[in-house]
A and B are shown apart, each in its own frame.
Chain A
Amino acid sequence: MKKNKSILLSTPYILWMLIFTLIPLGVVGYYALTDPETGVFTWGNIRDLWLFAPTLGISVWYSLVSALICLLLGYPVAYYIAHRGATAQKILYMLVMLPMCMSFLLRTLAWVGLLETNGIINQFLNALGIRSLNMIGTPGAVILGMVYNYLPYMILPLYAIIVKIDSRLIEAAEDLGCTPVQVFSRVVLPLSMPGILSGITMVFVPAVSTFYISQKLGGTDTMLIGDVIERQFKSAGNPNLGAALSLVLMLLVFVCTGIMNRFGSDEEGGVVV
């Protein structure tokens, strides 16, 4: 009786998954493995992907760098929030969430206005008598855009984990001779590991498939795999190649998160001395 009920309750979601996730995935797979003109089965699209290996490499690299920067910026913030009083925690949590309430497009466009050759930052620098900086169209601008947009996705899981670390464990570590630095490295950091891993995943996955940020903030040489996919479907009119790229990107994300989770569970399992 109980089982039947729970199946009944989850039916809408299962249907949703089926119609909007599994079937489209099948369609993507079908397109990826068929010829654009004749529609017959081919490995051709997959073979052509080698052309995009450098783009893929850059995408992964930028996303990893962004995730790392997010971690370095986000961890202290998350730690700080987790150690405030209940009210302060709520307010700070809201502040972290706030940028996410604004449109993603708008946030990215705002950075264009800031970083442009004649943008706000350069105008300000000129007014101080400093030469304009070349910011827009550089890899740095793309990474900045990623970090800015995805930072909350790093802070929130970190905060959720750090706030749950039992303060008695910290006292126990002090009691056993740990200086504050050792308390952090031997207890707080290892116990934050699940938050760090989920934060990296939450930043890396959307960053690696993004296309808008690189289009607006990047130059011609900072094209990312997301841009390439978008172009295949739009201007280049080759949805089969686009589908193949999407598929490979998906596999790549799976592999990356898989590696990270493996790493995480090893960490938790405790190393045998």
Chain B
Amino acid sequence: MEFDGERILDGINLYFNDHEFLTLLGPSGCGKTTTLRIIGGFLTPTSGRVLFDGKCINDVPPYERQINTVFQRYALFPHLNVYDNIAFGLKVAKLPKDEIHTRVQEMLEIVGLQGFENRRIDKLSGGQQQRVAIARALVNRPKVLLLDEPLAALDLRLRKDMQNELKRIQQAMGITFIYVTHDQEEALSMSDTVVVMDKGRIQQIGKPEDIYNEPKNAFVADFIGESNILDGVMNADYKVKFFGRTFRCLDAGFQPNEPVDVVIRPEDIDFVDPEAGHLTGTVTSVTFKGLNYDIIVDFKGFKWLIQTTDHQPVGATVGIRLNPEDIHVMHKSEYSGLFGDYSSYSAEYDELTEDADDEEE
């Protein structure tokens, strides 16, 4: 897909299975909304094909596709009330009046908005508007529902509730959901399949657990959760060397002595006495996060993030042990060296990934 001569999407090859909850996850500008708009028919790809039930639908206009969309910030019709918004698609399809009525009532029940039929759109809260938007799309019983950051405008509490709600609706109705978000937690908790995207390319496709446990490159490792990413060398199968030490690991299939990226998740690291540790370092900062402490430890100038319930004072010398299953080895990629160093750690790293508001085209 090219746009204004710039390549926005490159080599996107995706399969969507029936009744699947698939999430396109990536930072602002990664091309996920563009992908969604191509599926919805609002953009025509400059090359490549979109197949739907085996038929190419590149030239099928949006109004002839059996796909409905829940738009970013809902795009509800301000001149219509709740009932007429939901009934819109059915009226366009010229369904009999009583069938429209039954189906709208059914949808109102599913999204929990009975009694709001005659309410004006601007008299609804964000969460209610969001439900109307979902009902308006689902009432047409599409084969595929596209959701473009539907929860981005809601506050955290409401967002959690709606996540459960959406998952429930998806399972109850058995419709394929294609969900776009930049919130990794949302993606992991709702999806059957996660597609991680960046720079218009698919970085990894997989089940949430696989994406988290077996990231393919430094970008995925960093974007999904927190990661310490180190330079290493794969001495042989199951043997990786970093920080001048060889560790046992569970990875194999690399070239002998291939340079690799090594991922160590902050929550997998346990403190031990300095003498008993594989590595020793100095605590440089401690932040209380509620569930755990975020502790930054300096190992020979490279700072690691460690998440633990054990408090360590700043300045303490600590030792760590790494078990084979705590170490994940990845091939080098264009992202190597860009992520995974907590030297510039700030306690706000969580928010940074969450509040970026993307309106990429």
A21 within 8 A of B: no
How many chain A residues touch the partner (CB < 8 A)?
24
A54 within 8 A of B: no
* Chain A residues, Cβ within 8 Å of B61: 174
Residue of A nearest to B93 (CB): A177
Are A172 and B81 also in contact (CB < 8 A) when A179-B63, A186-B92, A272-B118 are? Answer: no
* B78 with A191: CB separation less than 8 A: yes
A113 within 8 A of B: no
Are A268 and B71 also in contact (CB < 8 A) when A174-B61, A176-B88, A182-B92 are? Answer: no
A37 within 8 A of B: no
Measured CA separation A68–B258 after assembly (Å) = 78
* Chain A residues, Cβ within 8 Å of B81: 270, 272
* Chain A residues, Cβ within 8 Å of B118: 270, 272
Q: Pick the residue among A177, A179, A191 that contacts B79 (CB under 8 A).
A: A191
Q: Pick the residue among A174, A175, A273 that contacts B84 (CB under 8 A).
A: A273
B143 within 8 A of A: no
* A174 with B62: CB separation less than 8 A: yes
* B87 with A168: CB separation less than 8 A: no
| Residues of B in contact with A, size category | 20 to 34
* B80 with A175: CB separation less than 8 A: no
Smallest Cβ distance from B140 to chain A, in angstroms? 7
A-B contact count (CB 8 A): 74
A175, A179, A193, most chain B CB atoms within 10 A: A175
* B92 with A176: CB separation less than 8 A: yes
Residue of A nearest to B37 (CB): A171
**Contact string against B for A residues 179-194, beta-carbon threshold 8 Å, 1 for contact and 0 otherwise:** 1001000110011010
Smallest Cβ distance from A52 to chain B, in angstroms? 41
A contacts with B: majority SS: helix
* A175 with B68: CB separation less than 8 A: yes
* Chain B residues, Cβ within 8 Å of A187: 77, 79
**Contact string against A for B residues 46-67, beta-carbon threshold 8 Å, 1 for contact and 0 otherwise:** 0000000000000001110001
Measured CA separation A173–B78 after assembly (Å) = 12
**Contact string against A for B residues 125-142, beta-carbon threshold 8 Å, 1 for contact and 0 otherwise:** 000000000001100100
* B40 with A175: CB separation less than 8 A: yes
* Chain A residues, Cβ within 8 Å of B92: 176-178, 182, 186
Smallest Cβ distance from B11 to chain A, in angstroms? 26
B75 within 8 A of A: yes
Smallest Cβ distance from A207 to chain B, in angstroms? 28
B42 within 8 A of A: yes
* B89 with A171: CB separation less than 8 A: no
* Chain A residues, Cβ within 8 Å of B40: 171, 175
Residue of A nearest to B133 (CB): A172
Q: Pick the residue among B67, B84, B93, B137 that contacts A270 (CB under 8 A).
A: B84
Measured CA separation A171–B84 after assembly (Å) = 17
* Chain A residues, Cβ within 8 Å of B67: 175
Are A268 and B79 also in contact (CB < 8 A) when A177-B63, A273-B84 are? Answer: yes
Smallest Cβ distance from A272 to chain B, in angstroms? 6
Q: Pick the residue among B63, B73, B80, B93 that contacts A168 (CB under 8 A).
A: B73
Measured CA separation A121–B302 after assembly (Å) = 88
Residue of A nearest to B118 (CB): A272
Are A168 and B75 also in contact (CB < 8 A) when A175-B40, A175-B68 are? Answer: yes
Q: Pick the residue among B63, B68, B69, B78 that contacts A178 (CB under 8 A).
A: B63
B83 within 8 A of A: yes
Measured CA separation A187–B136 after assembly (Å) = 15
* A176 with B84: CB separation less than 8 A: no
Closest 8 CB pairs of A and B: A176-B89, A168-B75, A172-B75, A174-B62, A270-B81, A177-B92, A190-B79, A175-B69
Interface residues of A (CB under 8 A from B): 166, 168-169, 171-179, 182, 186-187, 190-191, 193, 267-270, 272-273
Interface residues of B (CB under 8 A from A): 40-42, 61-63, 67-69, 71-73, 75-81, 83-84, 87-89, 92-93, 118, 120, 136-137, 140
Beyond A175-B40, A175-B63, 18 extra complex contacts between A and B, CB < 8 Å: A169-B77, A172-B77, A173-B77, A173-B88, A174-B42, A175-B62, A176-B92, A176-B140, A178-B63, A186-B92, A187-B77, A187-B79, A190-B79, A191-B78, A268-B79, A270-B81, A272-B81, A273-B83
Identify 25 residue pairs between A and B in the complex whose beta-carbon atoms are under 8 Å apart, listed by A's number.
A168-B71, A168-B72, A171-B42, A171-B75, A172-B71, A173-B77, A173-B88, A175-B62, A175-B67, A176-B88, A176-B89, A176-B137, A176-B140, A177-B140, A178-B63, A178-B92, A191-B78, A191-B79, A267-B79, A269-B120, A270-B80, A270-B81, A270-B120, A272-B118, A273-B84
